[in-house]
Amino acid sequence: MGVFAPTRFHWTLPAGGDGVQFCRAAEDGGLDQVLLPAAFHRPDPVALASNLAANTKSIGFMICPRTDMQSPTHLVRQVNTVSAVANGRVSVVGGCPYDGDFRAHDEFWTVCDALWRDSEFRRFGTPFTSVERDRPELYFSGSSGAASDLAVRHGDVLLLLGAAPAVVVGCGRRVRAAGREVGLLFSVVCRPTRAEAVDAALAMTEIAGENAYAAREKYRLLTAESVALAGGWCATPAEDADHWPRPYLWTGAMPFLGPLGLALVGTPDELAAAVQEYREAGVTQFVFHGEGMSQFCQEVLPRVRERGW
């Protein structure tokens, strides 16, 4: 499935602004889904998905539930209900488990899977996608072995923090061999010229302000077990560090902004070529965040589609 699947593009709903207007713009721009994160300062993603679905036509919604705060039965009932309201435009993003958390997460999703296959829990009769299936599309995020295990055992897609294509090939080999897809998470900085794009990327470090390193140290302890973030979010960059693993991939803001600082940077043609390079590395889905959705939809996405991806 992974290698021959169509390339799909999603965007994270911003914390502020008009959510309905954003989703309609994503829909009109040709994106596939909007990611609804779970965070203490954000609305409940399940309830929010119901509202957004009622005000849109085709865009899908990636729900990020808090599996540590509810039972599998409650989650399945919620997702089934939203799926009925949204005419199947719902997928679920599992947590980012560390290796030591695998057993608890495995048990949770094993129960969910059994409930989704139970006819009593599927009595709404609404498919979860345009293709008939008995459960929503499941994403699992993380670079740990536990995340890969969950994607293979229970999921459809493994979401990884973006990296150079050669690295992605190795990280995603096991899940692709099992017939699952691989997706990547990035920010996007698109400008008419490369010089403008690089200047805009460098300006991202100014967003964090003077307290950037203090914030980094605070969260370093909270993310110390993260396989993906240990080398980026927690690392102190050397003075002469090369923050360009690829001409289009910039990591320079990660020590300041964490995963939000990992960016694809370039002109529309350069970013379309980057998507093609990742596609050739086995990546079939992209989850973007931050500003730049309009430029991506208007300038990059048409070029990607013209290349047949």
Which DSSP string corresponds to 247-293? TTEE-TTHHHHGGGG-EEEE-HHHHHHHHHHHHHTTEEEEEEESS-H
Split at pLDDT 50, 70, 90, the class of 226 is very low
Read off the pLDDT of each residue in 19-47 and give the average, rounded to a whole number.
94
> Mean pLDDT score of the chain, rounded to an integer?
85
Pick the CATH number of 8-187+266-306 from 3.40.50.300, 3.40.50.12780, 3.20.20.30, 3.40.50.450: 3.20.20.30
Split at pLDDT 50, 70, 90, the class of 104 is confident
SS3 239: coil
Split at pLDDT 50, 70, 90, the class of 1 is very low
Indicate if the pLDDT at residue 221 is higher than 90. no
Share of the chain above pLDDT 90, in %: 60
Indicate if the pLDDT at residue 187 is higher than 90. yes
Indicate if the pLDDT at residue 223 is higher than 70. no
What are the residues facing 161 on neighbouring strands?
185
Task: Pick the range with the lowest mean pLDDT from 68-72, 89-93, 169-173.
Answer: 68-72
Read off the pLDDT of each residue in 27-35 and give the average, rounded to a whole number.
98
pLDDT at residue 229 in the model: 44
Identify which has the larger pLDDT, 228 or 13: 13
Share of the chain above pLDDT 70, in %: 81
SS3 58: coil
Read off the pLDDT of each residue in 157-185 and give the average, rounded to a whole number.
94
pLDDT at residue 39 in the model: 79
Indicate if the pLDDT at residue 262 is higher than 80. yes
Best-predicted range by mean pLDDT (101-105, 112-116, 189-193) = 189-193
Read off the pLDDT of each residue in 124-138 and give the average, rounded to a whole number.
66
Indicate if the pLDDT at residue 213 is higher than 90. no
Q: Nearest to residue 197, comparing CAs of 305, 275, 287, 271? A: 271
Indicate if the pLDDT at residue 265 is higher than 70. yes
Indicate if the pLDDT at residue 222 is higher than 50. no
pLDDT at residue 217 in the model: 56
Read off the pLDDT of each residue in 243-261 and give the average, rounded to a whole number.
86
Q: Within 10 Å of residue 268's Cβ, how many Cβ atoms?
A: 20
pLDDT at residue 136 in the model: 93
CA atoms of 18 and 174, how far apart (whole Å)? 40
Collect contacts of 169-172 with beta carbons under 8 A, ≥24 apart.
169/281, 169/282, 171/143, 172/281, 172/282, 172/283
